[in-house]
Amino acid sequence: MIHSQEKSSVLSQGVFIFVYLAVLTALEFLVAISFNSVPLLVVVALIKAALVVYYYMHIYKLSLESEIDEHSYDYKASTNRLGLWLFLVSDSFVFGGLMVMRINLLGLTRPELNQLLGLAVTAVLLISSFFMNRGETLMHQGDRRGFLLNTAITFVLGLGFLLGVVLVEWRLAIHEGMTPDSGPAGAAFFMMTGMHAFHVFTGLILLAIIMANGRRGLYDEQNYPIEAAAVYWHFVDVVWIFFYPALYLIGRLA
Amino acid sequence: MRHFVIVGILVIVMSVLTYLGLDAAELMPVAASAQADPIDWMWNLQVIAMSFLFALIVVPMFYSLIVFRRRKGDTTDAEHIEGNTTLEITWTVIPLFLVLGFAYLGAVNLSDTLRADPNAMVVKVTGIQWSWIFEYPPDPETGLVVVSDELHLLVDRQILLQMTSSDVIHSFWVPEFRVKQDLVPGRITELRITPTMEGDYKVRCAELCGTSHAYMEKPVVVSSQGEFDTWMSEQLEKAKEAAATPEGSGQLLVAANGCAACHSINGASGIGPTWSGLFGHEVELTDGTTVITDEEYLAESIKDPQAKIVAGFETQLMPTYGFTDEQIANIVAYIKTLR
Amino acid sequence: MRKTNPVRSGLLLLVIGGAVGYGIGLGIDLLISGNLNLAGSVPSAFALLLSVTAFFFGLYGYRGITRGLVWQVVGTLLGAFFITGIRALTGSSNIFGSFFFSEPAWVFGALVGVVSFIFGVGAVDDWMKWARGIDTPEHHEDEPGWEKYFYVSLDHKVIGVQYTVTALFLIVVGGSFALIFRTELAASQLQFLTTTFRLFNQTGPQFYNTLMSLHGIMMIISILLGVSGIMNYVVPMIIGAQDMAFPRLNAFAYWVAVPASVLFLMSLVLGGFDTGWTGYPPLSARAPVGMQMFFLAVFTAGWSSILGSLNVIATIVRMRAKGMIAMRLPIFVWASIATSIIALTATQLIGLSFQLVMFQRLFGLGFFDASKGGNPVLFQHLFWFYSHPAVYVFVLPGLGVISELLPVFVRKPLYGYRWIAMSSLGIALVGFTVWAHHMFTSGMNEYLRVPFMYSTLLVAVPTGVKFFSWVATIWGGKIETPTPMLFVLGAIFVFLIGGLTGPPNAAIALDLHLHDTYWIVGHFHDTIFGGFVFPFFAAIYYWYPKATGRRMNEFWGKVHFWMMIPSFLVLTFGMMRIGLLGMRRRIVDYDPALGFDTTHLIMTIAAFLIGLSVLIFFINFFRSLKHGEEATGNVWNSRSPEWQVPSPMPVHNYEVPFEVVGEPYDYGLEGSKYVEFASPAEVPHLHPPSPAEVESIK
Ligand code: HEA
Ligand code: HEA
Ligand code: CUA
Ligand SMILES: [Cu+2]
């Protein structure tokens, strides 16, 4: 059983990481609106991604030794962990392709979008990631109520992001005359946000599932599904860490 | 040891024979352009390499199959040889240098085919489904521009083709000239050719571009200055007098836009209805109704091809062209002449 | 469920279903368009859907695949009507399209159809349970006999066979298409695919393009399925695993390929598509609805390939037998890893590129539409970023099979094991960096050409290592040549020719002449046959006893080989010959002045002989199931673990686990062993139930 101060230290780590991410995001925004240096923006995005991948997605767990018995839960869990990461690698090629498409079609110009709104939705997704991580850690520490509460918050924020993009952002863009068929900017914007929104949507379904099963009282010992849902959720966040500057920050207005 | 010597000799014999065989087979069409020379040189080099490598693998393989085949009643395994690192390294490193050499030569070779001649004749090329439009430099005096679906070239005079497409991707290829270049909508691609042999050739569209891709072929004529000039002046004459009459200028428009790719003027069946005797008839439409093919029907069908579709031609929809009303009138006038 | 000769009742219902469907379609068509069009698309579409479904119903009753197909048909119609309804309500101008439903309706319908199939066949039942927090047993026991091949089984061997048979089916369909258009090509001018010809709303030339394109893509998909087939059946077996890492994902990956195949057939009847398998826009942005079915089909089949390879990697990393360290892996496993790395990652890009064209068609997003500031060449980059590495997906397993079988039949260790193993990875990795060699004439940025020539030629090096090592393996061996070995040797010979015709294409200036000619067609038929088709047959002849406990007839096997290889060489040499002389690809008719008629005629005859040989193979394949000679032991006297246990393979592979104690290919080394089986006493429990829960993310 874990000692209490260890518990709190694990939790506070999550908080620290979140603070870093928030600061970096703000920095990113300022750089963009002031002297808009693309290399700098890229570097910041990479750092943010690295933080999430290591501290929130626990990529290092891939290298952990598991039990040898093929039928033990631990063994299967780490096999599934590998499977999930392989899937994410594969999936990231889709987003990579979309990024290539955006760079090829738009170059160093960006679509005409409301940068503040962009910052807002980004913040929402970032905060949701924080609560996701918190919920996961709490469940590992056997605090079911905490887990359910934080996951619920994550779900609400995620939903907020989804609606923010689809209802507010898209409406606005179309209203401003940037319809999907208006040109490369519109095409890139709707395709990229659309594909990402779809992943957020699937993430929400996973969250719903683990919450439902959590309420049913599962996951006391065998709680890999929670980790899986969390990792997937953070992955969607990582994707946005790159899409956000690509769509809202980099370059001059088209 | 004996085996190695025999195989070594056989490999050499085999590669020589293979090469001679392939060389005798005359695999390439006649070379009719300056660009063809470096390309055929590279081809020859590749054939040599192919022949040798083919022999290098195949000879020892078949030799073993015969010499080392399992004898009747022998159930034992063969000698236990796991491999030999130095050997592996050799046949990794040697091919490595080989391919690097090939790549270097390939780069040089490419630059040879791209060598530009400052006073090359510039012809604008447009690909359309399924024909070619060649726009020659304007005539110095009259400023008239000859537009034709035939490509006439001067022997030993480099030509710079500035190409684009009005619909889908096409590709300019005259096998005797070797070089090939796609025509891409929305951008201009260039191709330099220096014909070296007088004669009649054909430009064949090499990129799948739809139903009649197979038939997107037009004459290419390489001739001496004299013949070229006479053809040019003929075309200019035609252009001048044709421009005078409506049906004449209609005919020019038809030629320039490759309408003949779909509409025959001799009654032959095609992608679209034939034009011979088209005017002043009753035709049945897809919706079962019938119309008289008078001026306004024809005009409408050119302006908005999908408005009324003749029964039997549903599958291939005609693109809309940006003709002015006058131009359309001219084309209709031309069609009327095709009784 | 009737047991009395299911095949007959199946065929009977096939006919009836087809007739009924045709009738219905005809009726609907009549209602909508008002005129009776016997060769129209709608009747054929309905006939197709119903006949296929009816066939399986007769064969199998209403379960498994039949249920899936029924659900797919219903789902497709519901989805289509849904969109049609919406269009009607929103009062859009054209509620119906030239193929009865409008294009968006067809697309949405097809999508719903695929999903319905997955649910209908029951490929996601367990996941649904897990999502609701219900446990399921780790394995479902299959019923004995042939039935298990027609429903969702979790046994990797069953799935492997399912993949293989589906692949063979697609080869027959795609091959028959080839025979049809080869007949048209037998002479210049149009023979039967004339401009007055009408089928599925296509004129002769359009129909040629559709057949040719479908031939290309269906053959490629059949390869991908065949590859998954071999890997599924063999990999867990030779690394000593009980099954794949994710059995349910494995089944899922197979079953999405089935609705995909149906979509291919639908693309044929829905106006076809005339773009070739490469589907370049702008042409693909204008093609008929069939284009969308093609995109969806490839997209769906792509997921099969992605998830399948994910599974293979996980299995190899996690489930190896004790002592099976990297350098003691069977060589085929190395090939599988290399293949799977490509399939796992690159496949997403073809999916994406096709998706972008779909959206361009549906919603007017102008990615590749020059008039909207799009870029047609971008598509080619995205497409080839997958489709070049894909060609190594085709061959790497094949080359793996060659390396796996050679030592067995020459009774000598595999020469330079490490080098062959590493060369597979080398080919895979370099293969990622060469895609633009398909675009030398495309008008892409000039400075890109030369670097891609360098990278392309580099691939020759690792490939060469394989060839030289093979020759060294054969050299001085004691060579036996039963059918599998014949196909292995044929593969080496043919693939060598295919490979050697690669570098000329890479030499840019030369490629300006070769591009889009039959030379290229010859090149890739050689590489594909040598790298996949021949090894595939070799693998089937080799592992057939393992799966069935019987051998395929040796005599007819040899007939198959000696009939196939010469006619095939004639076919491809003919292709290369006329290609160099100016025969373009993808043309329904060629200029008589070129004087290719005789060559084409000979090629067509050769093509039919290949077809015949394949026919012989099939007869042999099915006859041997009952009449083949018993072969339950170590038929080929191999060292590999799967042959140390009796055939057919037990359900959970090895009742007792084995440990790797030596090198895999130490033939000729006295008293050496590759694997050693633990004595049953030492085995604690065979397979106790354990929470399947854990897989619930998959
Ligand atoms: C099974 C699939 C397969 C394989 C393995 C290959 C292998 C290779 N291919 Fe091929 N290729 C295709 C399938 C394949 N190809 C297909 C389907 C197309 C057409 C797609 C379409 O347009 O529809 C195509 C088209 C294609 C093109 C485009 C042509 C064009 O459209 O203009 C090019 C250009 O570079 C090319 C090159 C190569 C090369 C260099 C190799 C190399 O990997 C070959 C390496 C092997 C050897 C070289 C032989 C053995 C080596 C030695 C004996 C060592 C010594 C060798 C040297 C020193 C040279 N291929
Ligand atoms: C796995 C890959 C594969 C395989 C096995 C084949 C097999 C064959 N291919 Fe194909 N082919 C491609 C992949 C393949 N092809 C691709 C990717 C293209 C490019 C398409 C494009 O350009 O977009 C192409 C294109 C292509 C062309 C060029 C078309 C064109 O450019 O216009 C031709 C022309 O001859 C051709 C011929 C053949 C023939 C005769 C066979 C024969 O070997 C087929 C023999 C097999 C059978 C016939 C199956 C067995 C049939 C039965 C058992 C039924 C009963 C048999 C009889 C009635 C005899 N193929
Ligand atoms: Cu134009 Cu093919
Ligand atoms: Cu390639």
Look at B65 and C489 and tell me if their CB atoms are within 8 Å: yes
Coil vs helix vs strand at C584: strand
From CA C151, how far away is CA C613, in angstroms rounded? 31
C514 Cα to the center of ligand 3, angstroms: 16
Residue C490 has pLDDT above 60, yes or no: yes
C307 and C252 Cβ atoms separated by less than 8 Å: yes
> What is the number of the ligand closest to the CA of B168?
3
Backbone angles phi, psi at B185, to 5 degrees: -60, 140
Encode burial over B79-103: b for 16+ CB neighbours within 10 A, e otherwise. Answer: eeebbeeeebeebbeebbebbeebb
Residue B268 has pLDDT above 70, yes or no: no
Q: For residue C693, what pLDDT is reported?
A: 39
Coil vs helix vs strand at C479: strand
From CA A122, how far away is CA C488, in angstroms rounded? 57
Residue C3 has pLDDT above 70, yes or no: no
Q: What is the pLDDT of residues C425-464, one digit of tens each?
A: 999 999 999 999 999 999 888 889 999 999 999 999 999 9
B319 burial level (CB within 10 Å; 0-12, 13-18, 19+): exposed
Residue C657 has pLDDT above 90, yes or no: no
Measure B122 CA to nearest chain C CA, in Å.
18
Number of Cβ within a 10 Å radius of residue B280: 11
From CA B161, how far away is CA B124, in angstroms rounded? 6
User: pLDDT category, B270, cuts 50, 70, 90?
Assistant: low
Task: Please indicate whether residue B147, judged by its CB atom, sits closer than 6 Å to ligand 3.
Answer: no
**What average pLDDT does the segment C539-566 reach?**
93
Query: Is C416's Cβ below 8 Å from some Cβ in B?
Result: yes
Q: How far lies B58's CA from each of A96, B2, C467, in Å?
A: 43, 18, 10
Instruction: Give, in degrees to the nearest 5, the angle at Cα C290 between C288 and C294.
Output: 130
Please state which of the ranges B273-287, C114-128, C227-241 shows the lowest mean pLDDT. B273-287
Measure C378 CA to nearest chain A CA, in Å.
7
From CA B148, how far away is CA B223, in angstroms rounded? 16
Task: Please indicate whether residue C698, judged by its CB atom, sits closer than 6 Å to ligand 1.
Answer: no
- The reported pTM is 0.91
B317 Cα to the center of ligand 3, angstroms: 17
Task: Please indicate whether residue C435, judged by its CB atom, sits closer than 6 Å to ligand 1.
Answer: no
Residue C576 has pLDDT above 50, yes or no: yes
Q: What is the pLDDT of residues C123-158, one digit of tens each?
A: 888 888 888 888 887 777 777 777 788 888 888 999
Percentages (nearest 5) of helix, strand, coil residues in chain B: 45, 20, 35
Task: Please indicate whether residue C459, judged by its CB atom, sits closer than 6 Å to ligand 1.
Answer: yes
Q: For residue C372, what pLDDT is reported?
A: 84
What is the residue whose two structure tokens read 């008039």?
Answer: C371
Query: Is C464's Cβ below 8 Å from some Cβ in B?
Result: yes
Q: What is the pLDDT of residues C257-308, one digit of tens each?
A: 999 999 998 898 888 888 999 999 889 988 888 999 999 999 999 999 999 9
Q: For residue C326, what pLDDT is reported?
A: 86
Q: Which residues line ligand 2 at a C-beta cut-off of 6 Å? A: C 171-172, 175-176, 178-179, 182, 212-213, 215-216, 219-220, 223, 276-278, 521, 525, 528, 533, 571, 585-586, 607-608, 610-612, 614-615, 618
What is the residue whose two structure tokens read 């590669």?
Answer: B15
Q: Give the H or E element holding residue B257.
A: helix B246-257
Look at A72 and C314 and tell me if their CB atoms are within 8 Å: no
pLDDT winner (highest mean) among A239-253, C41-55, C94-108, C510-524 = C510-524
Q: Which long-range contacts (CB under 8 A, 24 or more apart) does B91-96 make?
A: B91/C464, B91/C465, B91/C468, B92/C419, B92/C461, B92/C464, B92/C465, B95/C460, B95/C461, B95/C464, B96/C458, B96/C461
**What average pLDDT does the segment C189-209 reach?**
85
Look at C356 and A191 and tell me if their CB atoms are within 8 Å: yes
Look at C668 and B173 and tell me if their CB atoms are within 8 Å: no
Partners of residue C158 on adjacent β-strands: none
Q: For residue A76, what are its two tokens?
A: 């299967």
Q: For residue C683, what pLDDT is reported?
A: 53
Which parts of chain A register pLDDT below 70? 1-4, 254
Which residues, 6+ apart, have CB-to-CB distance to C438 below 8 Å? C380, C384, C387, C388
B139 and B236 Cβ atoms separated by less than 8 Å: yes
Q: For residue C694, what pLDDT is reported?
A: 40
Residue C660 has pLDDT above 50, yes or no: yes
Query: Is A178's Cβ below 8 Å from some Cβ in C?
Result: no
Q: For residue B314, what pLDDT is reported?
A: 66
- How many CB pairs below 8 Å do chains A and C form together? 130
Q: For residue C50, what are its two tokens?
A: 């119903």
Find the residue in C nearest to B49 (Cα): C500
Q: Which atom of ligand 1 is nearest to the CA of C438?
A: 28
Please state which of the ranges B247-251, C495-499, C540-544 shows the lowest mean pLDDT. B247-251
B236 and B144 Cβ atoms separated by less than 8 Å: yes
Q: Give the H or E element holding residue C100.
A: strand C100-101
Which residues, 6+ apart, have CB-to-CB distance to B177 below 8 Å? B32, B33, B35, B36, B193, B195, B201
Look at C376 and B186 and tell me if their CB atoms are within 8 Å: yes
Average pLDDT over chain C reads 88
From CA C181, how far away is CA C372, in angstroms rounded? 37
Q: For residue C347, what pLDDT is reported?
A: 92
Q: Tell me which chain A residues have a C-beta less than 8 angstroms from the C-beta of C351.
A: 94
Q: Which atom of ligand 2 is nearest to the CA of C277?
A: 23
Q: Among residues B261, C363, C218, which one has the least CA distance to residue A182? A: C363
**What average pLDDT does the segment C155-171 reach?**
92
Residue C674 has pLDDT above 70, yes or no: yes
Measure A185 CA to nearest chain C CA, in Å.
9
Q: Which long-range contacts (CB under 8 A, 24 or more apart) does B223-227 make?
A: B223/B152, B223/B153, B223/B154, B223/B155, B223/B198, B224/B154, B224/B155, B224/B198, B225/B154
C390 Cα to the center of ligand 4, angstroms: 8
Q: What is the pLDDT of residues C189-198, one digit of tens each?
A: 888 888 888 8
From CA A159, how far away is CA A161, in angstroms rounded? 5
Rounded to a whole number of angstroms, the distance between the first and last alpha carbons of chain B is 85
Q: For residue B143, what pLDDT is reported?
A: 72
Residue C244 has pLDDT above 80, yes or no: yes
Q: For residue C685, what pLDDT is reported?
A: 47
Residue C510 has pLDDT above 80, yes or no: yes
Measure C341 CA to nearest chain A CA, in Å.
9
Q: Which long-range contacts (CB under 8 A, 24 or more apart) does C179-186 make?
A: C179/C607, C179/C608, C179/C611, C180/C211, C181/C208, C181/C211, C181/C212, C181/C215, C181/C588, C182/C603, C182/C604, C182/C607, C182/C608, C183/C604, C184/C208, C184/C588, C185/C588, C185/C590, C185/C600, C185/C603, C185/C604, C186/C600, C186/C601, C186/C604
Look at C412 and B78 and tell me if their CB atoms are within 8 Å: yes
In three-state form (DSSP H/G/I as H, E/B as E, the rest C), the secondary structure along C39-89 is CCHHHHHHHHHHHHHHHHHHHHCCCHHHHHHHHHHHHHHHHHHHHHHHHHH
Q: What is the pLDDT of residues B121-177, one digit of tens each?
A: 999 998 888 889 898 888 777 777 788 888 999 999 999 999 998 889 999 999 999
C157 Cα to the center of ligand 2, angstroms: 29
C31 residue type, one letter: L
Q: Distance from CA of residue C698 to its chain's centroid?
A: 24
DSSP string, C184-206: HHTSSS-SSS-TT--BTTB-HHH
From CA B294, how far away is CA C658, in angstroms rounded? 87
C628 and C550 Cβ atoms separated by less than 8 Å: yes
Look at A100 and C310 and tell me if their CB atoms are within 8 Å: no
Q: For residue C682, what pLDDT is reported?
A: 56
Task: Please indicate whether residue B205, judged by its CB atom, sits closer than 6 Å to ligand 3.
Answer: yes
Residue C697 has pLDDT above 60, yes or no: no
Encode burial over B47-63: b for 16+ CB neighbours within 10 A, e otherwise. Answer: bebbbbbbbbbbbbbbb
**Chains with at least 3 CB pairs less than 8 angstroms from chain C:** A, B
From CA B257, how far away is CA B255, in angstroms rounded? 6
**What average pLDDT does the segment C222-239 reach?**
93
Q: Which of B46, B70, B84 sits opposite C507 (nearest CB)?
A: B46
B212 and B129 Cβ atoms separated by less than 8 Å: yes
Query: Is A8's Cβ below 8 Å from some Cβ in C?
Result: no
Number of Cβ within a 10 Å radius of residue A92: 17
Task: Please indicate whether residue C595, judged by its CB atom, sits closer than 6 Å to ligand 1.
Answer: no
Q: How far lies C317's CA from each of A33, B45, C156, C322, C694, in Å?
A: 47, 45, 17, 12, 18
Coil vs helix vs strand at C371: helix
> Which DSSP category does A70 fall into?
T
Q: Which of B37, B172, B181, B208 is the best substitution to test chain C (most C C-beta atoms within 10 A)? A: B208
C435 Cα to the center of ligand 4, angstroms: 6
**Chains with at least 3 CB pairs less than 8 angstroms from chain A:** C
Q: Tell me which chain C residues have a C-beta less than 8 angstroms from the C-beta of A94.
A: 348, 351-352
**What average pLDDT does the segment C332-352 reach?**
93
Q: Where are the beta strands (DSSP E) in C485-573?
A: none
The length of chain C in residues reads 698
Residue C651 has pLDDT above 60, yes or no: yes
Q: What is the pLDDT of residues C58-77, one digit of tens each?
A: 887 788 888 888 899 899 98
Which residues, 6+ apart, have CB-to-CB distance to C131 below 8 Å? A209, C696
Look at C509 and B113 and tell me if their CB atoms are within 8 Å: yes
Q: Give the H or E element holding residue C96.
A: strand C96-97
Look at C313 and A222 and tell me if their CB atoms are within 8 Å: no
Q: For residue C242, what are its two tokens?
A: 């009980």
Q: Which of C282, C493, C509 sits opposite B109 (nearest CB)?
A: C509
- How many CB pairs below 8 Å do chains B and C form together? 287
Look at C581 and B27 and tell me if their CB atoms are within 8 Å: yes
Coil vs helix vs strand at C656: coil
Q: Where are the beta strands (DSSP E) in chain B?
A: 121-128, 131-135, 147-148, 151-154, 159-165, 170-173, 180-183, 189-193, 199-204, 217-223, 282-284, 290-292
